[in-house]
Amino acid sequence: MPHKGFFRSIFCIDDDKTDLFIAEKYLKGLLVNPEVMLFMNGKNAIDKLMDLRQADPGGLPDYILLDLNMPVMDGWAFLDEIYRMRIDLWCDSAIYILSSSVDVTHVERAKRYPIVKGFISKPLNREKFRSTFLSALPDV
């Protein structure tokens, strides 16, 4: 059985409450005491990133799980805002796109953002989270 991973915090940004619930459940079951912060749109997550940056630049999330289709600020606008504000220069977060369809144009567009490390396709399940997060852990 693989060991549980250690991460400071993870942002989950999705307007679907069920997907947020499932993501939080799997993350808390897979990782050791992660701080999982849930956001219903990209604007609220950007605001929190800015607050964290001012309070403690070392306290930024390790991972950001980002849905593309949301009201207020969608995933693409979130990524554009990260680059506009130059957050990518001080943020070591790895972003994974959450998507119900992995459209080839979305994959190509996401490659333009070095902070985006991959896609997790919906529907979400335990094995997708296990392969994403445990493969990122260093060998112990």
CATH numbers and ranges of domains, the chain: 23-134 (3.40.50.2300)
Banded pLDDT at 5 (limits 50, 70, 90): very low
Which two structure tokens, joined as six digits, stand for 55?
Answer: 């309070």
pTM: 0.85
Secondary element (H or E) of residue 38: strand 35-39
The pLDDT tens digits of the residues spanning 10-58 come to 999 999 999 999 999 988 888 888 899 999 999 999 999 888 878 876 6
Contact indicator for 95, 68 with CB cutoff of 8 Å: no
At 111-137, the pLDDT tens digits run 888 889 888 888 888 888 888 876 654
